[in-house]
Amino acid sequence: MTRHADVRAALCHPDLHVPAVGTGPPGTLAWLRATVSRFSPPGLHAERRSIGVTALAALDPDDLRDEASRMTAAALDRAGGRLDVMRGLARPVPLRVLAGRLGLTDPVAAGTAVGAVAAAYHPGVDPSLVRRADRAVETLLALCPPARPEVRANLAGLLVQACDATAGLIGAAAHHLLPLAGDREADAPPGGKRPVDPPARGETADLLAEVLRLDPPVWATRRVTAAGVRLSGQDLPPGSPVLLRFDAANRDPRAFADPEAFRPDRPGAGLLTFGAGERGCPGDRHALALATGVLDVLRRRCRRTPGDLRHEPHPTLRVPTTLEVTVR
């Protein structure tokens, strides 16, 4: 489904469920997937989601942003003139900040473990990645604050969900917002005005919202019909798989005027990248705060080196492989 109204309706429809996942022995990747709220069936979802919502409610997004900025500045100071944003910032910084604030005892080790889990989180990957992820799940659970297994699983799940999506947002934003090295005319984002340098507080967050619309790190999500459903003029029988396209819905001209233009001052809300309904992302403000902290510093101190942007192969995510910048 690609129309904005249809995708929103599907996300909120009670008979469109997240596809079921199998489970496995406690402490394994399969067990983690079956225990986190993201993949839980309707009868278990609300209780498990409340674990993550409660944990995130204790975190101040401004504190997350400021800590991400501090870590980013320190990484640029060590960079020696050039840095791969994806490896040096987009992946490690948000995870380390979030892991520390969620109470994991070793945020650096947690970030490494989360990366291994995220690499095998979706079905169909190489079995060797699954074995590595099983060991990483054990590490993550041991680093979490003492609690019953379901609580620790959902804390780990918050980190895994933040891993690729936040990295993809930072990579896309760096690609769209950073001027090319040696090209002063590139200081303006596509279709937009020249950004302030340094950025005014709040401005980067506004730009990120438009990046999320035009180039979302999560471009699609899946649902399956639990009963007969009529949607988008079609009758779907029970068990029908449905692919919901955020990338297309966010460019639907019926929802966004001049949808191909980069306009961070768009009025109103309608962005679907964080989902909608009872399964909408519980950490949207936190993800934006972490990305804003990284991008604020990048926009002050970095220029993007020329080159084609490539993305990791993935069925529903859009995450750059590398993105090099020069540091000043």
Which domains, from first to last, does the chain contain?
4-327 (1.10.630.10)
> Per-residue pLDDT for 192 more than 90?
no
Model pTM score: 0.92
* Tens digits of residue pLDDT in 4-49: 999 999 999 999 999 999 999 999 999 999 999 999 999 999 999 9
pLDDT at 269: 65
Mean confidence (pLDDT) of the chain: 91
Q: How many CB atoms lie within 10 A of CB 298?
A: 28
> Per-residue pLDDT for 198 more than 90?
no
Query: Which is more confident, 193 or 264?
Result: 264
Query: Which is more confident, 193 or 162?
Result: 162
Dist CA 264 CA 254 (whole Å): 18
Q: What band does 184 get if pLDDT is binned at 50, 70 and 90?
A: low
Mean pLDDT of 266-271: 74
* Tens digits of residue pLDDT in 125-164: 788 999 999 999 999 999 999 999 999 999 999 999 999 9
Dist CA 82 CA 325 (whole Å): 6
- Stated as kind and residue range, the H or E segment containing 171 is helix 149-177
Min mean pLDDT across 100-104, 120-124, 203-207, 219-223 is at: 120-124
> Per-residue pLDDT for 113 more than 70?
yes
